[in-house]
Chain A
């Protein structure tokens, strides 16, 4: 075990992947000598050099498009999009090219590209630096999309994503980069080294995790809102409500089986994410719960998330973002029934 921040855990995971496989290559803006604007690639340029850690021209479509070409040549590019709001120049390459190549080539071309995206808000940033665009990518067939909520998950998921033969959108909750935790640095490397390890890792990457057990309400979160969900559950328990917390971990695929199993016991579900609730991943999950656990529900499934406004100025963001009170408000509303 080692104590790491989430940023440090992603860094350690990438380093481990680069040491295992010389084809793993990093690319992005300012990821070289600077170590990235969040320092997630700190030290990797020094140790692996220009060919493995490439500062790219300032062009997101170009980064993704050339990563596709490198992947076709047998490389495993791990690219960094500097901020969530800057992913849109690359949206065409991601959705029309990266996501579809395996399908349109009838399985002949694998594109093992990982797109790291520091995302979500809460850091007092300027416009376009706090967004949560994950559902756009979960809506696109051919992509996988995950978001770690702890240093351990960050360390595990980044290595599983790099090993996965499919393109993976890797959403890093930037406000949680400096949270510390204990990390088992041996389990996932051993998993990947074992027979059938990549398939097992990919399957594991797509599974949700019950983070806290409870019996009255199922509270589902991922990435940036997991800490909040656990805080809300703790407060609720003092009010006599037993809240089960599920860390979804993966938005595509979405492990609704784990969620449905829990909701069938609790009869109530609240979903919390930073992205706008309107057409968000919570809408998809809510629909699946309704389809698969309708007769077990005691109350409507509720969502807590961002509003249908552009992400507001930093002085407003703590009212825009879900907080403990808004989550508890939703918990109160579902337990009234």
Chain B
């Protein structure tokens, strides 16, 4: 599939071909050279686990246990590769499809499903994982990542040359988001304030049904260059390349040199959400083309050819995935809504007479149905 404009493969950083053959990249191979066979196996395991979870969640939605599910299928390479390059000081601002990144930040994947069961809007403590809540308003969080990074600069967290002290933020967003004004404004603010932000765009080629050609005429990474920051295009289905490029980008930002733009060209193998129907807007030949470029299969081929993926290890990971699936099913089905009055909690940090008056009224109203305490 040859393409130009936003689907061009020009300048895509790759360290593994789509069949898993290693290729040397003059700049970026060095950033992944230290990865041991064990670390590469862990990347394979993470991707495999996240995909198994994704399929389980899809099934639960089909069974009516979840209202909606947003699949990350196909994007595991971009997410695990970039996520594993982060350290403890870095702070992630995800969009809503970043389950793989969540996994690398220690968020229990099952907890994410509280959102999709309609129980609450945020399902983890962002401060515990340095992983902000999912943001559903496209692109809005890129500005939060920029402001947070401006705060990190003020707090002396850049340019120390000390991994224990330095940090950066990473804003994850998609190709559709690059049309939003907030992305342009985030690039501008990050650039003029020299904030330590990595803008990580997963170009999965679709914004629901709209092809990326409806968002831009040029490769998305050009946007970063326009704001005056180094910009790199990476093969998003090459997990090692994604790791290497993100490592480089984080080094740049943490060292005080300012923001970086990374575009990971990938493919959304599933639907936008479980409410979507991709058969209405793309053909199966295209899906088959990208299925051959699967990020897990690619790393699998590489490791297998080197004898680094034993049957025993595969078995362990399969058992882990099976166990996670079982826990996911059981946990999700056990969740019931908390007390209805919780709806009024946390609108404000301190009491607000308007909310308190409505809370009191609704409590009395609810109690009026109770024969014992009613009137």
Contact = CB atoms under 8 A, between A and B. Distances in A.
Interface residues of A, number: 49
Interface stretch (B52-60, B185-193, B211-219, B248-256): B185-193
Contacts of A141: 347, 355
Query: What are the 5 closest A-B residue pairs judged by CB atoms, nearest first?
Result: A69-B147, A65-B143, A73-B151, A66-B147, A62-B185
A199 interface: yes
12 contacts: A57-B188, A62-B146, A65-B185, A67-B147, A69-B169, A70-B148, A72-B144, A96-B140, A97-B140, A106-B120, A165-B350, A166-B352
B120 to A, nearest CB: 6
Given A61-B181, A96-B140, A104-B121, A255 B145 contact: no
Interface stretch (B68-76, B125-133, B261-269): B125-133
Given A62-B186, A93-B140, A254-B354, A69 B349 contact: no
A214 interface: no
Contact of B185 (A51, A59, A97, A255): A59
A172 to B, nearest CB: 22
A326 interface: no
Contact of A74 (B132, B151, B347): B151
Given A103-B121, A108-B126, A203-B351, A70 B345 contact: no
A240 interface: no
B256 to A, nearest CB: 15
Interface in A52-82: 56-57, 59, 61-62, 64-75
A92 B141 CA distance: 12
B122 A57 contact: no
Nearest to B355: A141
A261 to B, nearest CB: 14
B27 interface: no
A253 interface: yes
Q: Which of B141, B149, B150, B169 has the most CB of A within 10 A?
A: B150
Contacts of B352: 144, 166, 206, 252-253
A68 B135 CA distance: 13
Contact of A72 (B147, B189, B345, B351): B147
Given A141-B355, A203-B351, A257-B353, 4 more contacts: A66-B144, A100-B121, A104-B133, A108-B125
A110 B348 CA distance: 9
Interface in A94-148: 96-97, 100, 102-110, 141-142, 144
B350 to A, nearest CB: 5
B122 A105 contact: yes
B170 interface: no
A165 to B, nearest CB: 4
Contact of B188 (A59, A67, A253): A59
A72 B148 contact: yes
A68 B154 CA distance: 15
A164 B351 CA distance: 11
Nearest to B349: A165
Nearest to B352: A253
Nearest to B197: A69
B346 interface: yes
Contacts of A107: 345-346, 349
Q: Which of A62, A74, A104, A109 has the most CB of B within 10 A?
A: A62
A57 B352 CA distance: 34
A137 B150 CA distance: 27
B182 interface: yes
A61 B354 contact: no
Nearest to A199: B350
Interface in B100-155: 120-122, 125-127, 132-133, 135, 137, 140-152, 154-155
Interface string B155-192: 10000000000000100000000000110011011001
Contacts of A253: 352-355
A85 B126 CA distance: 34
Nearest to B191: A57
B135 to A, nearest CB: 8
A203 B137 CA distance: 32
A28 to B, nearest CB: 13
Given A69-B150, A102-B346, A103-B121, A62 B188 contact: yes
Interface residues of B, number: 44
Q: Which of B137, B154, B192, B345 has the most CB of A within 10 A?
A: B154
B149 A109 contact: no
Q: Which of A74, A105, A206 has the most CB of B within 10 A?
A: A105
A102 B352 CA distance: 13
B348 to A, nearest CB: 5
A315 B106 CA distance: 62
A206 to B, nearest CB: 6
B347 A61 contact: no
A11 interface: no
Contacts of A97: 135, 137, 140-141, 144
A56 B120 CA distance: 35
A144 B354 CA distance: 11
B150 A66 contact: yes
B182 A65 contact: yes
Contact of B346 (A57, A70, A103, A257): A103
B151 A68 contact: no
A202 interface: yes
Q: Which of B122, B126, B135 has the most CB of A within 10 A?
A: B122
Interface in A142-156: 142, 144
B186 A65 contact: yes
Nearest to A106: B346
Q: Which of B132, B145, B182, B185 has the most CB of A within 10 A?
A: B185
Contacts of A165: 349-350
B89 to A, nearest CB: 12
B143 A62 contact: yes
B137 A92 contact: yes
Nearest to A257: B353
A61 B353 contact: no
Nearest to A25: B154
A202 B122 CA distance: 26
